[in-house]
Copies of this chain bind each other. A is one copy, B any other.
Amino acid sequence: MNQFLIKQRAVIKLYLITFIEKKKMYGTQFLEEIQSQCNQYGFSPSQPEIYKALHDLYKDGIVTRKNQLKGDEGFQEVVIYQFTNDGYEKAKLYKQQIKADLDRSQDLLRKIIKDNYR
């Protein structure tokens, strides 16, 4: 079984977990946050990718969903994500696994460069 570099989906889930650790936010904000931080590296995922990743985390039992009115403006409703009871533990484990894959990806990139550039 082949595993090239880490997948975008995994990285998005990683960012989402980190955001949820820090403060409650909703889909559109997650998207804008990632895009503005990573744009300069060419990384700018599409909007549905964020929701797919959020649904993954929900299906994995890591987060709960809660509809909530957006504070300041009119009647706009947003979906807020928080960790489930054991979600934070699961999330920490998941982050560890992703870290291993990130490290492996770095090692692979280094090897590719070493093999092909003097």
**Interface, chain A (partner B; CB < 8 A):** 1-6, 8, 11, 14-15, 17-18, 37-38, 41-46, 95, 99, 102, 104-113, 115-117
**A65 nearest CB across to chain B (Å):** 22
Please state if B108 and A41 are interface contacts (CB–CB under 8 Å): yes
Q: What chain B residues lie within 8 Å of A115 (beta carbons)?
A: 15, 18, 37
Given the interface pairs A41-B107, A104-B41, the reply to whether A112 lies near B14 with Cβ below 8 Å is: yes
Main secondary structure of the interface of A (DSSP, over half): helix
Please state if A5 and B5 are interface contacts (CB–CB under 8 Å): yes
**A11 nearest CB across to chain B (Å):** 6
Q: What chain B residues lie within 8 Å of A14 (beta carbons)?
A: 112, 116
**A113 nearest CB across to chain B (Å):** 6
Apart from the given pairs A14-B112, A106-B110, 18 other A-B contacts in the complex at a CB distance below 8 Å: A2-B43, A2-B44, A2-B46, A3-B43, A4-B8, A4-B11, A4-B43, A4-B45, A17-B116, A18-B116, A37-B111, A38-B111, A41-B108, A43-B108, A102-B109, A102-B112, A105-B109, A109-B109
